[in-house]
Amino acid sequence: MAIALAIVLVLIVVGSVLFHLLSPWWFTPIASNWGHIDGTVILTFWITGAGYVAIILFMAYCILRFRHRAGRRAQYQPENNKLEWALAIGTTVAVIALLGPGLFVWYQFITVPEDAAVMEVVGQQWQWSFRLPGKDGRLGLSDPRFISSDNPLGLNPKDPGGQDDIVVEGNELHLPAGKPVKVLLRSIDVVHDFYVPEFRAKMDLMPGLESYFWFTPTKIGTFEILCAAFCGVGHPQMRGTIVVENENDYQAWLAKQHTFAELSAHAQKANLRDGLPSSGALAAAKE
Amino acid sequence: MVEIRVDGAIPAAEVPDVELYHAKSWITKYVFCQDAKVIAIQYSLTAMGIGLVALVLSWLIRLQLAFPGTLSLISPEAYYQFITMHGMIMVIYLLTALFLGGFGNYLIPLMVGARDMVFPYVNMLSYWVYLLAVLILVASYFVPGGPTGAGWTLYPPQAILAGTPGRDWGIILMLSSLILFIIGFTMGGLNYVVTVLQGRTRGMTMMRLPLTVWGIFSATVLALLAFPALFVACVMMLLDRLLGSSFFMPAIVQAGEHLSYEGGSPILFQHLFWFFGHPEVYIVALPAFGIVSDLISTHARKNIFGYRMMVWAIVAIAVLSFIVWGHHMYISGMNPMFGFFFATSTLIIAVPTAIKVYNWVLTLWRGNIHLTVPMLFAIGFIVTFVNGGITGLFLGNVIVDVPLSATMFVVAHFHMVMGIAPILVVFGGIYHWYPKITGRMLNDTLGRIHFWITFLGAYAIYFPMHYLGFIGVPRRYYELGETAFVPPSAAALNVFITVAALIVGAAQIIFFFNLVWSFYKGKLAGSNPWRATTLEWQTPETPPGHGNWGKELPVVYRWAYDYSVPGAEQDFLPQNQPSKGPSRQAAPV
């Protein structure tokens, strides 16, 4: 029994390592600047993996070597201060080796470069919308109170800074490659999470507050946005697309998008035709 | 009343015996019973019963993930109800109840040398309130809309809004059931703590307690401090749901409709939930740590290595577990500066935890290892716990968490570390103490079959699952659908995991059969079949009678780990065996 168990433990260790090295399942190819995140994952893998292998193999050895046989008696050794402290210090060193690089990369992750462009992601069950600043380079104020069918993202109609904001509905956003972008996130109903596996970064959209992260898309291509915070029965279907393209293609796409002012005017016209006041005007009048 | 003795080597505070309430009828002996041992069995059977529900739910979850769209009875609503109920049952109603209400009730009085818990009547109430909580939880399957499908974390706003299954009744019953569970637990928990502090027999100093008692005691203290956070969160959400208050509800526009909520904070709920939720991990883990220490020591015929370090590691883990909750919320949008603090505190916990692992393995070193069924499960625990522990170093280190959080990596991690690992200890503990509880041994062959299938099967389920997380497969997806970055081979992996899960689940039938069969047909155990040192094996009767100890309480002369003492005739010296020379003490008393 002891021999069988020791062999099984060795096989578990060898099998786990081989599985890691040979299986086809690993990170998707990275498409952002966050190579350091992959680096910390791999560092963690090797440090903790070495510990795992060492502990299980040592245990397998003990099971084999110190298995019960007739006349065998265990050693009586309650403590060994030196050994215990050496192990504690060794573990502490390993933890520092994990934590140091980890916190360094985290610092980078939360420190947005000054030249980063700004964009906003708005989540609702079960779709994605986006907003880009207009010529003034900043996003106008918003509040869920202002949300209506003509103003789906709840921009404050009285804030002149918001009139030139570009509102992108329909789950698809384009971004220029190679430019850092600060992503502001908010939700108008429940908790969502903006997750593009190829970018490595993800962040919740927490109703009632605005969160952020930043990244630089580095690869031209089309990437799928998933929701990574359970948001109700439609959660798996809450998908979107990010198209990363070169500057020219991006500008061409941008030119086809509509500003908040254009959308409001369009809605007003349509409402006048139907004999209805625009709801944007209603919300403004209520204030 | 307290007499200070100065005559012997062991000064002790002694409280005169209080006459126990002796049951007068069948009902007070087996139903409304105040004997901690009976309450322990009531708790354990109820927990295992509801645990079987969770097991069946896990099958259904796995069937859906491997064969999406094949089983018509699993709608998205049903799927989310399955995962919610499975998670909540496993964490709260099975593991917490079984370790504290089950093992705690049975072992604490026996191991500390008390006749019973200090408040037997309250202890009895604890079980009946727990049973009521379980029944209310089960009732949610029979109300319109069924149980809540909010995910076991019950995050608002989604938990109480349309678009979530069980929004009408299920969530109300879930919150009510949790509130009752906490009330019931508090009654039991106060008992466990006070009994350990005040009910120890003469000579049983804190530093002579078996680690099982230390684990359960520390976990109970944690639970008494952590559950109130969940309690208030449940009450507040219940008010939001029933009275329209806005504790956790900001201004919300759902499907074009402006809801009447305003000004609340959903992230506040997450803080309250995880302020409870992280200690909860250790509420489950610490009793497992304690029990496995005693299993390894007894079956390796060797004292636990580094007893004092083991005690202080338990205490350090318990204290630290209150300042790490934010690692569940790295990507919640809370102030990112918290990331530095919580990553540091979380990784510091790895040090005392690693010390415990080293000391378990070093206990095997130069031992006399008997590979009994309890020992097999203890070794299985070490493998799965180390595996699940190191993936915790991924998720605890804030930046490493970013790509992995909310993926199947997290599911694999927490199942390995707080599902499989503690459950293997539960099994090990049951194989170990069943002879004391029933007077008969569990069947050894069935036990070994049960171990091999459960251990290897569970590893086959959860080890590969981490890699789905590396690919980026999110958790809580009813179906993955067409997703460009996921290779088709991932579907094959999902089928493999499901087959393993079905086999492991089915293997538990062997265990339950063994429990029943051995109760009638098992080999007679005698009072101390494992030749163990701790007091529960030294009772005058097996199973122990009401009051545990006959006329005289045992007196303790030594620590719990005098195995293979040089010069001693036998390879174990019971704690209540006097010795001529000065008894070894782990620490100055």
Per residue in A133-146, pLDDT tens?
998 889 999 999 99
Q: What's the confidence (pLDDT) of residue B11?
A: 53
A11 and A129 together in one domain? no
Query: Cβ–Cβ of B364/A66 closer than 8 Å?
Result: yes
| Contacts for B353 with CB less than 8 Å, ≥ 6 apart | B313, B317, B389
A280 and A176 together in one domain? yes
B49 belongs to a structural domain = yes
The CA distance from B300 to A31, in Å, is 52
A71 belongs to a structural domain = no
Q: At what angle do helices B421-438 and B266-299 cross, to 10 degrees?
A: 50
Residue A284 has pLDDT above 80, yes or no: no
Number of domains within chain A = 2
Q: How confident is the model at residue B2 (pLDDT cuts 50, 70, 90)?
A: very low
A60 and A142 together in one domain? no
Q: Give residue-wise pLDDT tens across range A108-132.
A: 999 999 999 999 999 999 999 999 9
Task: Note the residue count of chain B.
Answer: 589
Residue of B nearest to A187 (CA): B252
A39 and A163 together in one domain? no
Q: Give residue-wise pLDDT tens across range A223-262.
A: 999 999 999 999 999 999 999 999 999 999 999 999 999 9
A170/chain B closest Cα distance in angstroms: 15
A266 and A220 together in one domain? yes
Of the candidates A28, A76, A204, the beta carbon closest to that of B472 is on A28
Looking up residue B386, the CATH number of its domain turns out to be 1.20.210.10
Looking up residue A209, the CATH number of its domain turns out to be 2.60.40.420
Share of chain B above pLDDT 70, in %: 95
Give, in order, the Cα–Cα distances in Å from B196 to each of B111, B200, B220, B221, B488: 9, 6, 11, 11, 55
Query: Cβ–Cβ of A235/B478 closer than 8 Å?
Result: yes
Query: Cβ–Cβ of B364/A205 closer than 8 Å?
Result: no
Contact by Cβ (8 Å): A164, A132: no
B430 belongs to a structural domain = yes
| Structure tokens, A186 | 């908010």
A126 and A247 together in one domain? yes
CB-CB neighbors (< 8 A) of A202 in chain B: 331, 402-403, 405-406
Residue of B nearest to A82 (CA): B306
CB-CB neighbors (< 8 A) of A58 in chain B: 361
Residue B262 has pLDDT above 50, yes or no: yes
| Structure tokens, B25 | 């009828």
Residue of B nearest to A19 (CA): B464
A160 and A181 together in one domain? yes
Residue of A nearest to B361 (CA): A59
Q: What's the confidence (pLDDT) of residue B9?
A: 56
Q: What's the confidence (pLDDT) of residue B477?
A: 95
Higher-confidence residue: B346 or B581?
A: B346
CB atoms within 10 A of CB B27: 10
Query: Cβ–Cβ of A84/B306 closer than 8 Å?
Result: yes
Half-sphere exposure for B239 (CA within 13 Å, toward CB):
11
Q: In this structure, what is the dihedral angle of CA atoms B161, B162, B168, B170, given to the nearest 10 degrees?
A: -70
Contact by Cβ (8 Å): B248, B157: yes
B315 belongs to a structural domain = yes
Q: Which candidate in A106, A149, A182, A203 is best for mutational testing of the B interface (most B CBs within 10 A)? A: A106
B118/chain A closest Cα distance in angstroms: 32
Of the candidates A8, A41, A237, the beta carbon closest to that of B400 is on A41
The CB-based long-range contact list for B40-45 (8 Å cut-off, 24+ gap) reads B40/B101, B40/B102, B40/B103, B40/B104, B40/B105, B40/B106, B40/B107, B41/B102, B41/B106, B41/B437, B42/B127, B42/B131, B43/B97, B43/B98, B43/B101, B43/B102, B43/B105, B43/B127, B43/B130, B44/B98, B44/B101, B44/B102
Q: Which domain, by its residues, includes B318?
A: 38-246+265-538
Q: Give residue-wise pLDDT tens across range B429-488.
A: 999 999 999 999 999 999 999 999 999 999 999 999 999 999 999 999 999 988 889 999
Q: Is B520 exposed, middle or buried (0-12, 13-18, 19+ CB in 10 A)?
A: exposed
The CA distance from A232 to B79, in Å, is 11
Number of domains within chain B = 1
Average pLDDT over residues B321-343: 96
Q: Is the pTM value of this prediction over 0.90? A: yes
Q: Give residue-wise pLDDT tens across range B182-198.
A: 999 999 999 999 999 99
B559 belongs to a structural domain = no
Of the candidates A27, A84, A193, the beta carbon closest to that of B470 is on A27
Q: How confident is the model at residue B142 (pLDDT cuts 50, 70, 90)?
A: very high
B400 belongs to a structural domain = yes
CB atoms within 10 A of CB B400: 28
A138 and A105 together in one domain? no
Residue B340 has pLDDT above 90, yes or no: yes
Residue B524 has pLDDT above 70, yes or no: yes
A279 and A155 together in one domain? yes
Q: Give residue-wise pLDDT tens across range B194-234.
A: 999 999 999 999 999 999 999 999 999 999 999 999 999 99
B568 belongs to a structural domain = no
B442/chain A closest Cα distance in angstroms: 19
Query: Cβ–Cβ of B487/A55 closer than 8 Å?
Result: no
Average pLDDT over all residues of chain B = 94
Task: Give the residue carrying structure tokens 């500390």.
Answer: B112
| Structure tokens, B380 | 């299985």
Three-state DSSP state, A183: strand
A171 and A103 together in one domain? no
Q: What's the confidence (pLDDT) of residue B531?
A: 96
Query: Cβ–Cβ of A203/B331 closer than 8 Å?
Result: yes
Three-state DSSP state, A182: strand
Strand ranges, E, within chain A: 117-124, 127-132, 166-168, 172-176, 181-187, 192-195, 202-205, 211-215, 221-227, 240-245, 258-259
Q: Which domain, by its residues, includes A105?
A: 2-66+80-110
A72 belongs to a structural domain = no
A43 and A159 together in one domain? no
| Structure tokens, B154 | 């019950």
Q: Give residue-wise pLDDT tens across range B375-427.
A: 999 999 999 999 999 999 999 999 999 999 999 999 999 999 999 999 999 99
B79 belongs to a structural domain = yes
Q: Give residue-wise pLDDT tens across range B114-140.
A: 999 999 999 999 999 999 999 999 999
CA angle (B343, A112, A212) in 5-degree steps:
70
Average pLDDT over residues B528-536: 97
CB-CB neighbors (< 8 A) of A25 in chain B: 464, 467-468, 470-471, 487, 489-490, 493
Of the candidates A44, A124, A229, the beta carbon closest to that of B406 is on A229
A195 and A226 together in one domain? yes
Three-state DSSP state, A132: strand
Residue B272 has pLDDT above 60, yes or no: yes
Residue B59 has pLDDT above 60, yes or no: yes
ipTM of the complex: 0.94
Peptide bond preceding A126: is omega within 30 degrees of 0, i.e. cis? Answer: yes
Q: Give residue-wise pLDDT tens across range B542-571.
A: 999 999 998 899 999 999 999 999 988 899
Q: What's the confidence (pLDDT) of residue B15?
A: 56
| Structure tokens, B574 | 């019971």
A73 belongs to a structural domain = no
Buried b (16+ CB within 10 A) or exposed e, B470-498: bbbbbbbbbebeebebbeeebeebbeebb
Average pLDDT over all residues of chain A = 93
Contact by Cβ (8 Å): B43, B102: yes
Residue B83 has pLDDT above 70, yes or no: yes
Q: What's the confidence (pLDDT) of residue B587?
A: 42
Q: What's the confidence (pLDDT) of residue B457?
A: 97
B569 belongs to a structural domain = no
Q: How confident is the model at residue A21 (pLDDT cuts 50, 70, 90)?
A: very high
Average pLDDT over residues B19-31: 83
Q: What's the confidence (pLDDT) of residue B73?
A: 87
Contact by Cβ (8 Å): B376, A9: no
| Structure tokens, A128 | 């994605």
Q: How confident is the model at residue A287 (pLDDT cuts 50, 70, 90)?
A: very low
Please give the single-letter amino acid code of residue A171: N
Q: Give residue-wise pLDDT tens across range A133-186.
A: 998 889 999 999 999 988 999 999 999 999 999 999 999 999 999 999 999 999
Peptide bond preceding B543: is omega within 30 degrees of 0, i.e. cis? Answer: yes
